[in-house]
Structure 1
Amino acid sequence: MSTLDDIQSAQKNLEECFLKKMEQLEAQIQCAGPAKDTVAKIRDEFRSFRELIFGMLGLLRKQITECSRVVDGLETRTRRKALIFTGFAEAEKEDCRALVLDTVRNKLALPDITASSIKQCHRWTYFGKIYEC
Protein backbone atom coordinates (compact mmCIF):
# COMPACT_ATOMS: atom_id res chain seq x y z
CA MET A 1 0.00 0.00 0.00
CA SER A 2 1.86 3.02 -1.19
CA THR A 3 -0.84 5.59 -1.73
CA LEU A 4 -2.97 7.32 0.83
CA ASP A 5 -6.16 6.19 -0.96
CA ASP A 6 -5.15 2.53 -0.58
CA ILE A 7 -4.46 3.08 3.11
CA GLN A 8 -7.79 4.83 3.66
CA SER A 9 -9.63 2.03 1.85
CA ALA A 10 -7.90 -0.63 3.93
CA GLN A 11 -8.64 1.32 7.10
CA LYS A 12 -12.33 1.52 6.23
CA ASN A 13 -12.41 -2.25 5.63
CA LEU A 14 -10.69 -2.91 8.95
CA GLU A 15 -13.11 -0.62 10.77
CA GLU A 16 -16.09 -2.46 9.28
CA CYS A 17 -14.57 -5.80 10.25
CA PHE A 18 -13.83 -4.49 13.74
CA LEU A 19 -17.41 -3.35 14.27
CA LYS A 20 -18.76 -6.67 12.96
CA LYS A 21 -16.54 -8.67 15.33
CA MET A 22 -17.52 -6.51 18.28
CA GLU A 23 -21.22 -7.00 17.51
CA GLN A 24 -20.72 -10.77 17.21
CA LEU A 25 -18.83 -10.91 20.50
CA GLU A 26 -21.50 -8.82 22.23
CA ALA A 27 -24.26 -11.09 20.87
CA GLN A 28 -22.43 -14.20 22.09
CA ILE A 29 -22.01 -12.75 25.56
CA GLN A 30 -25.68 -11.73 25.79
CA CYS A 31 -27.07 -15.11 24.78
CA ALA A 32 -24.48 -17.26 26.53
CA GLY A 33 -25.24 -20.94 26.87
CA PRO A 34 -23.23 -23.29 29.04
CA ALA A 35 -20.24 -21.55 30.61
CA LYS A 36 -17.64 -23.90 29.05
CA ASP A 37 -18.79 -23.21 25.47
CA THR A 38 -19.04 -19.47 26.13
CA VAL A 39 -15.48 -19.22 27.46
CA ALA A 40 -14.10 -21.15 24.48
CA LYS A 41 -16.02 -18.99 22.02
CA ILE A 42 -14.95 -15.81 23.77
CA ARG A 43 -11.32 -17.01 23.71
CA ASP A 44 -11.51 -17.63 19.96
CA GLU A 45 -13.22 -14.31 19.36
CA PHE A 46 -10.61 -12.58 21.49
CA ARG A 47 -7.81 -14.06 19.37
CA SER A 48 -9.56 -12.92 16.23
CA PHE A 49 -10.17 -9.50 17.74
CA ARG A 50 -6.51 -9.22 18.79
CA GLU A 51 -5.35 -10.00 15.25
CA LEU A 52 -7.72 -7.37 13.94
CA ILE A 53 -6.39 -4.77 16.36
CA PHE A 54 -2.78 -5.58 15.42
CA GLY A 55 -3.77 -5.20 11.78
CA MET A 56 -5.27 -1.79 12.52
CA LEU A 57 -2.19 -0.71 14.45
CA GLY A 58 -0.02 -1.74 11.51
CA LEU A 59 -2.26 0.24 9.18
CA LEU A 60 -2.08 3.30 11.42
CA ARG A 61 1.71 2.96 11.47
CA LYS A 62 1.71 2.92 7.66
CA GLN A 63 -0.59 5.94 7.57
CA ILE A 64 1.69 7.92 9.85
CA THR A 65 4.70 6.97 7.73
CA GLU A 66 2.92 7.93 4.50
CA CYS A 67 1.65 11.22 5.91
CA SER A 68 5.11 12.05 7.26
CA ARG A 69 6.62 11.32 3.87
CA VAL A 70 4.08 13.51 2.07
CA VAL A 71 4.46 16.39 4.54
CA ASP A 72 8.24 16.17 4.35
CA GLY A 73 8.05 16.26 0.54
CA LEU A 74 5.81 19.32 0.61
CA GLU A 75 8.05 21.11 3.09
CA THR A 76 11.13 20.26 1.04
CA ARG A 77 9.57 21.62 -2.15
CA THR A 78 8.65 24.89 -0.46
CA ARG A 79 12.18 25.35 0.87
CA ARG A 80 14.07 24.54 -2.33
CA LYS A 81 14.53 28.02 -3.70
CA ALA A 82 13.54 30.19 -0.77
CA LEU A 83 15.74 32.85 0.74
CA ILE A 84 14.75 34.44 4.01
CA PHE A 85 16.04 37.88 4.83
CA THR A 86 15.69 39.28 8.34
CA GLY A 87 16.45 42.57 10.02
CA PHE A 88 14.52 44.92 7.74
CA ALA A 89 12.64 47.68 9.51
CA GLU A 90 8.97 47.55 8.63
CA ALA A 91 7.59 50.61 6.88
CA GLU A 92 4.03 51.46 5.96
CA LYS A 93 3.15 50.71 2.31
CA GLU A 94 6.63 49.37 1.60
CA ASP A 95 7.69 47.51 -1.52
CA CYS A 96 9.26 44.26 -0.27
CA ARG A 97 10.54 43.34 -3.70
CA ALA A 98 12.39 46.66 -4.08
CA LEU A 99 13.78 46.40 -0.55
CA VAL A 100 15.11 42.88 -1.11
CA LEU A 101 16.38 43.72 -4.60
CA ASP A 102 18.31 46.71 -3.22
CA THR A 103 19.82 44.55 -0.48
CA VAL A 104 20.81 41.76 -2.87
CA ARG A 105 22.38 44.18 -5.33
CA ASN A 106 24.21 46.37 -2.82
CA LYS A 107 24.95 44.26 0.26
CA LEU A 108 25.50 40.93 -1.49
CA ALA A 109 27.16 42.51 -4.54
CA LEU A 110 24.93 40.77 -7.08
CA PRO A 111 24.12 43.58 -9.55
CA ASP A 112 22.76 41.20 -12.22
CA ILE A 113 19.71 40.27 -10.13
CA THR A 114 16.56 41.90 -11.48
CA ALA A 115 13.02 42.21 -10.19
CA SER A 116 11.99 39.42 -12.58
CA SER A 117 14.50 37.12 -10.80
CA ILE A 118 12.35 37.29 -7.67
CA LYS A 119 9.33 35.06 -8.10
CA GLN A 120 7.63 36.02 -4.86
CA CYS A 121 8.43 38.48 -2.11
CA HIS A 122 6.43 39.22 1.03
CA ARG A 123 6.62 39.67 4.77
CA TRP A 124 5.48 36.80 6.91
CA THR A 125 5.34 36.05 10.60
CA TYR A 126 6.68 32.98 12.32
CA PHE A 127 6.43 32.57 16.09
CA GLY A 128 5.43 36.20 16.43
CA LYS A 129 8.44 37.57 14.53
CA ILE A 130 8.33 39.22 11.14
CA TYR A 131 10.54 37.80 8.43
CA GLU A 132 11.09 38.97 4.90
CA CYS A 133 11.93 36.98 1.84
Structure 2
Amino acid sequence: MALLADLKSSQAELEAQLSRRMAVFEEQLKATSPPTESLSKLAGDFYSFRDLVWGLLKSMRRQIEVCSNTIDAMEMRHRRKALLFSGIPESVDNVSEAVVDVIQSKLEIGDVDASQIVLCHRLGDKPDKRCRPVLVRFSTYSLKSTIWKIM
Protein backbone atom coordinates (compact mmCIF):
# COMPACT_ATOMS: atom_id res chain seq x y z
CA MET A 1 0.00 0.00 0.00
CA ALA A 2 2.99 2.27 0.59
CA LEU A 3 3.89 2.00 -3.08
CA LEU A 4 0.39 3.03 -4.07
CA ALA A 5 0.60 6.05 -1.78
CA ASP A 6 3.96 6.94 -3.36
CA LEU A 7 2.37 6.64 -6.79
CA LYS A 8 -0.47 8.94 -5.76
CA SER A 9 1.91 11.54 -4.32
CA SER A 10 4.14 11.40 -7.42
CA GLN A 11 1.12 11.92 -9.62
CA ALA A 12 -0.01 14.88 -7.50
CA GLU A 13 3.49 16.40 -7.68
CA LEU A 14 3.53 15.97 -11.44
CA GLU A 15 0.15 17.67 -11.75
CA ALA A 16 1.25 20.60 -9.57
CA GLN A 17 4.52 21.05 -11.46
CA LEU A 18 2.81 20.93 -14.86
CA SER A 19 0.16 23.34 -13.67
CA ARG A 20 2.77 25.85 -12.48
CA ARG A 21 4.82 25.63 -15.67
CA MET A 22 1.78 25.91 -17.93
CA ALA A 23 0.50 28.91 -15.97
CA VAL A 24 3.87 30.68 -16.39
CA PHE A 25 3.94 29.92 -20.11
CA GLU A 26 0.34 31.04 -20.54
CA GLU A 27 1.11 34.35 -18.80
CA GLN A 28 4.07 34.85 -21.12
CA LEU A 29 1.82 34.20 -24.12
CA LYS A 30 -0.74 36.71 -22.91
CA ALA A 31 1.91 39.31 -22.14
CA THR A 32 3.31 39.22 -25.68
CA SER A 33 1.90 41.99 -27.81
CA PRO A 34 1.02 42.43 -30.59
CA PRO A 35 -0.03 38.86 -31.35
CA THR A 36 1.40 37.63 -34.60
CA GLU A 37 0.27 34.74 -36.75
CA SER A 38 3.09 32.44 -35.57
CA LEU A 39 2.40 33.39 -31.97
CA SER A 40 -1.29 32.59 -32.43
CA LYS A 41 -0.32 29.18 -33.86
CA LEU A 42 2.02 28.63 -30.88
CA ALA A 43 -0.78 29.57 -28.47
CA GLY A 44 -3.13 27.11 -30.19
CA ASP A 45 -0.50 24.38 -29.97
CA PHE A 46 0.02 25.17 -26.29
CA TYR A 47 -3.69 24.95 -25.50
CA SER A 48 -4.08 21.65 -27.36
CA PHE A 49 -0.98 20.29 -25.57
CA ARG A 50 -2.37 21.46 -22.22
CA ASP A 51 -5.66 19.70 -22.88
CA LEU A 52 -3.82 16.53 -23.86
CA VAL A 53 -1.68 16.58 -20.69
CA TRP A 54 -4.70 17.18 -18.44
CA GLY A 55 -6.52 14.32 -20.16
CA LEU A 56 -3.57 12.01 -19.58
CA LEU A 57 -3.31 13.04 -15.93
CA LYS A 58 -7.04 12.46 -15.46
CA SER A 59 -6.64 9.00 -17.01
CA MET A 60 -3.70 8.25 -14.69
CA ARG A 61 -5.74 9.36 -11.68
CA ARG A 62 -8.56 7.00 -12.72
CA GLN A 63 -6.10 4.12 -13.20
CA ILE A 64 -4.55 4.72 -9.78
CA GLU A 65 -8.02 4.71 -8.23
CA VAL A 66 -8.91 1.45 -10.00
CA CYS A 67 -5.63 -0.11 -8.81
CA SER A 68 -6.30 1.09 -5.28
CA ASN A 69 -9.81 -0.38 -5.27
CA THR A 70 -8.56 -3.68 -6.74
CA ILE A 71 -5.81 -3.99 -4.14
CA ASP A 72 -8.27 -3.19 -1.36
CA ALA A 73 -10.70 -5.85 -2.64
CA MET A 74 -7.90 -8.43 -2.86
CA GLU A 75 -6.78 -7.68 0.69
CA MET A 76 -10.33 -7.97 1.98
CA ARG A 77 -10.79 -11.37 0.28
CA HIS A 78 -7.46 -12.50 1.73
CA ARG A 79 -8.59 -11.60 5.27
CA ARG A 80 -12.03 -13.15 4.84
CA LYS A 81 -11.20 -16.42 6.59
CA ALA A 82 -8.96 -14.93 9.31
CA LEU A 83 -9.47 -14.06 12.98
CA LEU A 84 -7.19 -12.63 15.65
CA PHE A 85 -7.00 -14.34 19.02
CA SER A 86 -5.46 -12.59 21.99
CA GLY A 87 -4.56 -13.78 25.47
CA ILE A 88 -2.81 -16.99 24.44
CA PRO A 89 0.33 -17.20 26.61
CA GLU A 90 3.75 -16.82 25.00
CA SER A 91 4.92 -19.98 26.78
CA VAL A 92 2.72 -22.18 24.55
CA ASP A 93 4.80 -24.24 22.10
CA ASN A 94 2.07 -25.29 19.66
CA VAL A 95 -0.05 -22.20 19.00
CA SER A 96 -2.47 -24.06 16.69
CA GLU A 97 -3.36 -26.54 19.40
CA ALA A 98 -3.77 -23.72 21.92
CA VAL A 99 -6.20 -21.94 19.58
CA VAL A 100 -8.16 -25.17 19.04
CA ASP A 101 -8.26 -25.64 22.83
CA VAL A 102 -9.62 -22.09 23.32
CA ILE A 103 -12.26 -22.67 20.62
CA GLN A 104 -13.34 -25.99 22.13
CA SER A 105 -13.24 -25.06 25.82
CA LYS A 106 -14.09 -21.35 25.98
CA LEU A 107 -16.35 -21.02 22.92
CA GLU A 108 -17.73 -24.56 23.28
CA ILE A 109 -17.44 -25.50 19.62
CA GLY A 110 -16.50 -29.15 19.75
CA ASP A 111 -16.08 -30.06 16.08
CA VAL A 112 -12.94 -27.96 15.43
CA ASP A 113 -9.50 -29.50 15.05
CA ALA A 114 -6.04 -28.33 13.97
CA SER A 115 -6.53 -29.64 10.42
CA GLN A 116 -9.13 -26.90 9.85
CA ILE A 117 -6.52 -24.21 10.53
CA VAL A 118 -4.60 -23.23 7.41
CA LEU A 119 -2.29 -20.70 9.05
CA CYS A 120 -1.59 -19.82 12.66
CA HIS A 121 1.16 -17.51 13.92
CA ARG A 122 1.84 -14.66 16.32
CA LEU A 123 2.01 -11.07 15.10
CA GLY A 124 4.78 -8.59 15.84
CA ASP A 125 7.92 -8.64 17.93
CA LYS A 126 8.01 -10.38 21.29
CA PRO A 127 7.05 -7.80 23.94
CA ASP A 128 8.21 -7.81 27.56
CA LYS A 129 4.92 -8.38 29.41
CA ARG A 130 2.01 -8.75 26.99
CA CYS A 131 1.01 -11.72 24.87
CA ARG A 132 1.17 -11.11 21.14
CA PRO A 133 -2.06 -11.67 19.20
CA VAL A 134 -2.36 -14.83 17.12
CA LEU A 135 -3.54 -14.64 13.51
CA VAL A 136 -5.56 -17.71 12.53
CA ARG A 137 -6.71 -18.43 8.98
CA PHE A 138 -9.34 -21.15 8.77
CA SER A 139 -9.94 -23.54 5.90
CA THR A 140 -13.51 -22.36 5.33
CA TYR A 141 -15.36 -19.11 5.70
CA SER A 142 -18.29 -20.87 7.37
CA LEU A 143 -16.06 -22.08 10.24
CA LYS A 144 -14.64 -18.59 10.72
CA SER A 145 -18.15 -17.16 10.63
CA THR A 146 -19.41 -19.66 13.23
CA ILE A 147 -16.55 -18.82 15.59
CA TRP A 148 -16.99 -15.07 15.03
CA LYS A 149 -20.72 -15.21 15.85
CA ILE A 150 -20.00 -16.89 19.18
CA MET A 151 -17.14 -14.56 20.08
TM-score of the pair, normalised by structure 1: 0.64
Residue identity matched to 1:46: F
* CA distance in 2 between partners of 1:76 and 1:58 (Å): 27
1:1-133 pair list within 5 angstroms = 36-91=36-91, 94-125=93-124, 130-133=132-135
Q: Runs of at least 4 residues of structure 1 off by over 3 A?
A: none
Query: Percent identity, aligned pairs only?
Result: 36
The number of aligned residues is 98
Residue identity matched to 1:77: R
The CA RMSD over aligned residues, in Å, is 2.4
Cα displacement string for residues 57-113 of structure 1 (whole angstroms, at most 9, x for unaligned residues) = 221121122111211111111121111101222127x21101111111111111110
Residue identity matched to 2:77: R
List runs of 5+ in structure 2 lacking aligned partners: 1-34, 136-151
* CA distance in 2 between partners of 1:65 and 1:86 (Å): 35
TM-score of the pair, normalised by structure 2: 0.57
Secondary structure of 1:113's aligned partner: coil
* CA distance in 2 between partners of 1:74 and 1:111 (Å): 32
Secondary structure of 1:119's aligned partner: strand
